[in-house]
Structure 1
Amino acid sequence: MILAAILPTTISMIISYVITTNSLKERAVVENMNLLYQGRMNLENDLEEMNRTSLSVYSDPEFYISLYYSHENINASGRQSATLQSINHAISGSKQVYLYVDGKREATLFAQDIARRMSDAALYDQIPDLSGKDYYIEPPRPVHTYGFQLSNPYPDSLQVMTMYRVIQRIPSSEQLGILAIDLDMSFISRISSQLFQPDHEQLYILNEDGYVMYSGNSSLISQKPREAWYNLIQESGTESGYFEHDDNIYIYDSIRTGLTDWTMIKEIPSSYILSSADKAAFINILLLAVSLLVIIAATIWISIHITEPIRKLVGVMSQVKSGRMTVDVSSPRKDEIGILHRRFGSMMDTINNLILQEYKLKLANRTNQLRVLQAQVNPHFLNNALQTIGTLALEHNMKRIYSLISALARMMRYSMYNTDKPVKLGTELDHIKDYVELQKERFENLFDFRYDVDESTVDILIPKMLVQPLVENYFKHGMNRMADDNYISVSTRRLSEDVVQIVVEDNGNGISEDKLATLKEQVQQLEMLDLEQLEVSDSDEADAAEHGIGLINIVTRMRLYYRDKSSFNMENVQPRGFRVVLTINVEGEAEDEGVDRR
């Protein structure tokens, strides 16, 4: 029992620890890759902005022309000072801007909001060799003033990163001068400091030459890393990724702009990521030790006080298993064993009740099945009765009555077989003719039925009862009994080989403009739904006609059957009347498969 309790628990702890550590590492990688991505985008935006700003030396014609004049030209020197001031103010973190014009051997420094000029000056000797380069970003270094004297010297601790741009005579590559922009480290640290926890993590930004442009450890700035992880990143050949080395996780991403091809690396100690898992593992081990002592004591007590009563209960269960469902399982004990006996007895009572209920349900289902069969008989009986009455009317030479009863019988037979299979349009139109025949008798020929059907359309397949509700709607709401020129028309035609149009039109009362607008809005909402969201309303016909649900159901059924290859349009006809146009795409449909011919 001790082994059965300890071994699974220990194995579970080990598995949980492994899964938890892997999950924590994966989550840390995903979160930090997203964090580096955001930092990369922000840095790239700032670097691109600095690049665009430095390129203003080409986009400003007046400045470009001023490079051909000396400082003695007031306009030229003023234009240069204004441009340097604009660049200094446009770039966040810019400390000073230096311009050297080769042909005039003149230098200008805009610093501390003042432009200083120097004539007959050599290029500042600490500027790196820019041969063959259009631009270069120098790793951070102590600030220098390019040979100028400042009224307020910079502190010795100030570090700047300098962006150099060679100004060329366009379109040739002849060098006209050099522009240098000094930026304090806030240019990078403002974004980089948000990407890591200085107390536990480390962040490095390396330039294309491998020098550290930024690091949480300031002593590493402008140095080349010597650690093995740097070589692993170089050998990976990928722009972004992660790996684990020396109990640290390294996540890296590339910063690629028109100026830079840098790499951002974040170093996270595995112990920092797994600290919560280690604490949980220690607590689990402590609990396991305590549990072991409790289990040993409980095992001894259980062996003495519980095993025997449980054996008796097992014997009772064996009797139940053999089919004796009325066995006595009561117990006078007040402890857990007694509760177990009473719960088992309650369970037996529940099982007996469920058996009885199951029997009653089966009996009720048999009764319901019988009622369903009876319900199926009644429509057949009515249909047969109508045929008998029609035959009797014919025997008494009452052909009109026979015609009406036959039409009603055909309508009942068409409606009685409530199937989801499609029908031919000709079958649906025959049903409409029978319906109209009965309505003519009802309204004493107060309307004219116009029937114009293209014979090439009668064999297309449509959902059952798709057109008939449109005709029925006229007699329920559209017909004007006071008029003597009432008509309703049903027409079909082929617009193309695969497109058929069905039009139902009348000159009745039409629909109010407000209700028509509401119906059109509902149709548009249906067209925006996915097919899985469509649902045919189960409202009765009276409610459907009153609230427009009948028309909406027709639209829904058309979309479900034709899969968005159909359209439904409705409009009022001037001076009075209502028109519904169904446009159906029958491309690729089977002619006879699954067709209801009744």
Structure 2
Amino acid sequence: MNWNSIRTKLIAFMILATIIPTTAALIISYVTTTNALKERAVVENQNLLYQGQMNLESDLEELNRNSLTVYSDPEFFRSLYYSHGNISTGGRQSATMQSMYHAITGTRQVYLYVDGQRESTLYAQDIARKASDISLYREIPDLQGRKLFIQPPHALHTYGFQLAYPYKENTKVLTLYRVIERVPSSERLGLLAIDLDMTFLSRISSQLFQPENEQLYITSEDGIVMYSGDEARIGRPLGEDWYKAIMESGQQQGYFEHNDNIYVYNRVQTSISNWTMIKEIPSSYILSSADKAAFINILLLAVSFLLIIAAMIWISVRITAPIRELVGFMSQVKSGRMTVDIESDRKDEIGILYRRFSSMMDTINNLILQEYKLKLANRTNQLRALQAQVNPHFMNNALQTIGTLALEHDMKRIYSLISALARMMRYSMYNTDKPVTLRTELNHIKDYIELQKERFENGFDFRYDVEESTLELTIPKMLIQPLVENFFKHGMNPVARDNYILVQSRRLSPSLVQITVEDNGNGMPEKPFEALQAQLRQLEELDLEQLQVSSEDEEDQGGIGLINIMTRLRLYSRGKSGFNLENNQPRGFRVVLTIHVEGETDEGIDRR
């Protein structure tokens, strides 16, 4: 072997350069892979628990709102002062309890006890059962002065009623108790209980862990297990050391290792609960994946080592000469000879390189020829762009000339209408991508309304209720005018004499402004309205980057409807504003925009 040969030196160098890093990688890989997999498992489970937390908080808040029906329904609240022997009273209570029963998935039964009447009602299996002159069911726990309480899972109660189909003994539910008080005093009028089967928690929790390898706990503020993959733990207190460590940490979320297990936790805080969601992952389960990954890395590195040695020998023996020939062709091209004949009958990578280089030279020569065509096409495009710019200016100037002529002939109404149309054209032509003040947008709407009043012979009433403090709010251009235009396109009844459209703005807080466009037109049919609501909800679930792509697609189609307006508003406010549609009764349509003022902060933004 000739050690002075470049080929020999190259092979020896590549072998050493491969062995040293490979050996170091094998040593480091096993250590780093284990830690990396643990960190990745923690991050993935934190994200998973966060999603579960959001879903559970949403369900609990929905349960809370459902139970508040006892206050939001005036007829039901008044019925508590009368005996359910009164047909109206009994019917009102049964109807409200039926609504609660069907509002939340997993509701097993709804129980109501009225203190003053000593009466109880149980709604279950779509049947309302009533009892009079009885005491509060004895197995209801002592609420200890609490007005709202969620009882941990327990056996399903009959509340003292005789049922045609008795419940199974192992049927467990969790119960929301709400004390009903005489508002605004704190005098107790009765008690509402809503029993929920375990699907209320299991349909969310079952997606958060693998029962064969992991464990999940949802605990109440008292440390009682509300849900667990181990059914035997449900309804019992947790007293383990790792649970005490979580409670003492005081953190909203986090993770730690204890006794060869990793614990990831998130707080679930709502107006009716302060629960904790905990996931227990055995370290052995994660490390088994690390061992497999380390074995695969070792195998890949070994194969790579062999391939590199073989490749270097191949390169040294078979490829050096063709590469040098190709370098010669490149030198000719560099010297200015652009028609080099490059051919090779090789089928390997060098042959591909020859053909690609030849194709590249053909492309370069073609690009040189096409450059003149591109310059000509560019000049044609510039001319078309100039024509597109001239036409709107010509129309605007022509309208001004006609308006002046109308004024000279003492046709002031015609001059007023032409001036309004000219202002609308100028508003539409300039700075379409820049935001405008609400005052400017409303002036544009007034011009539009003036033209429509002439068209429909004042067959509608335009109502304008705008707070002075909102006029300098900046919004995307053409945000409100399309909402007004929709009334004339789809909603106005030309036969009716009481048509009206209302534009209203008011400041809800220093950082929130609400703009409402309302009419009493034909409204929108139920099925298209539901389809539109579904499409809006889908867009609300998109992040801003996905929403930007969706907005560009709709702009390509020329869209400026309700979907376009909602998309532009979310992009403009970075997702901080709200958009809500309502079909008024008995007829009419309302669009409510809730806009977050830039640079301010506010709690409780309505993002419907």
Provide the TM-score with structure 2 as the length reference. 0.50
Cα deviation digits, residues 53-99 of structure 1 (max 9, x gap): 11111122222222222344333233323322222222221111111
Cα distance in structure 1, aligned partners of 2:95 and 2:386: 76
Rate the CA distance shift 1:42–1:286 in 2: closer, same or farther, 3 A: closer
| Distance of aligned partners of 1:571 and 1:30 in 2 relative to their CA distance in 1, 3 Å threshold | farther
Determine whether 1:224 maps to 2:237: yes
Residue in structure 2 matched with residue 245 of structure 1 by the alignment: 258
Partner of 2:394: 571
1:236-385 equivalent positions in 2, closer than 5 A = 236-282=249-295, 340=316, 343-344=319-320, 360=335
Distance 2:191 2:313 in 1: 94
1:256-276 alpha-carbon deviations (Å, 9 max, x no partner) = 222111111122223333433
1-structure distance, mates of 2:124, 2:97: 9
* CA drift at 1:220: 0.9
Change (3 A) 1:539 1:131: same
**Which residue in 2 is equivalent to 1:47?**
60
Report which of the two structures shows the higher radius of gyration computed on alpha carbons.
1
User: Structure 1-normalised TM-score?
Assistant: 0.51
Which residue matches 1:140? 153
Contact 1:544 1:550 in 2 (8 A): no
Give matches, 1:145-544, under 5 Å: 145-282=158-295, 340=316, 343-344=319-320, 360=335, 539=375, 543=379
> Bigger CA drift: 4-13 or 180-189?
4-13
Instruction: Please say if 1:18 is aligned against 2:1.
Output: no
Which of 64, 75, 81 is the equivalent residue of 2:94? 81
Could you tell me how far 1:50 is from its partner in structure 2? 1.5
Deviation per CA, 1:8-66, whole angstroms, max 9, x where unpaired? 43431232233333333333333333322322222222222211111111122222222
Distance 1:544 1:14, change over 3 A: same
Residue identity matched to 1:203: L
Q: Which amino acid aligns with 2:27?
A: I
Identity across matched positions, percent: 58
Per the alignment, residue 457 of structure 2 pairs with: none
Aligned equivalents of 1:56 and 1:96: distance in 2?
16
Output the CA distance in 1 between the equivalents of 2:41 and 2:257. 12
Tell me, in whole angstroms, the C-alpha distance in 1 between the residues paired with 2:37 and 2:84: 64
Q: Compute the displacement of 1:172 (Å).
A: 0.7
Distance 1:550 1:152 in 2: 82
1:541–1:550 Cα contact (<8 Å) kept: no
RMSD: 4.3
SS in 1 for 2:267: strand
Q: Structure 1 residues 67 and 549, CA, compared in 2 at 3 Å: closer, same or farther?
A: closer
- Residues 1:96 and 2:96 are matched in the alignment: no
Distance 1:89 1:338 in 2: 75
Give the counterpart of 2:72 among 47, 54, 59: 59
Q: CA deviation at 1:130?
A: 1.6
Cα separation, 2, equivalents of 1:575 and 1:209: 76
Q: Which runs of 5+ in 1 are unaligned?
A: 303-334, 363-536, 556-567, 584-598
2:122 corresponds in structure 1 to 109
Are 2:370 and 1:547 aligned? no
Distance 1:538 1:85, change over 3 A: closer
Deviations 1:83-121 (A, max 9, x none): 222222222211111112222222222223322223332
Query: Which AA in structure 2 matches 1:185?
Result: M
Q: Residue 202 of structure 2 contacts residue 227 of structure 2 at CA under 8 Å; is this kept in 1? A: yes
**CA distance in structure 1 between the partners assigned to 2:113 and 2:270 by the alignment:** 25
CA distance in 2, matches of 1:119, 1:341: 102
Letter in 2 for 1:151: A
How far apart in 2 are the matches of 1:233 and 1:161? 24
Alignment check: 8 A CA contact 1:107 1:121 kept: yes
Write the distance in 2 (CA, Å) between the matches of 1:123 and 1:238. Answer: 40
Per-residue deviation, 1:287:
8.4
CA distance in 1, matches of 2:313, 2:301: 27
Letter aligned with residue 266 of structure 2: D
2:135 corresponds to which of 115, 122, 131: 122
Which position in structure 2 is the counterpart of 1:444? none
Does the C-alpha gap of structure 1 residues 112 and 218 become closer, same or farther in structure 2, counting only changes over 3 Å?
same
Deviation larger for 542-551 or 130-139: 542-551
Q: Alpha carbons of 1:93 and 1:347: their partners in 2 closer, same or farther (altered >3 Å)?
A: closer
For residues 147 and 157 of structure 1, what CA distance do their matches in structure 2 show? 18
Q: Which amino acid aligns with 2:394?
A: E
The answer as to whether partners of 2:48 and 2:208 remain within 8 angstroms in 1 is yes
- Structure 2: give runs of 5+ residues left out of the alignment: 1-11, 338-372, 402-425, 431-608
Distance 1:238 1:547, change over 3 A: same
1:30 to 22, 35, 43: 43
- Determine the C-alpha separation between the residues in 1 that align with 2:46 and 2:183: 42
Q: CA deviation at 1:141?
A: 0.7
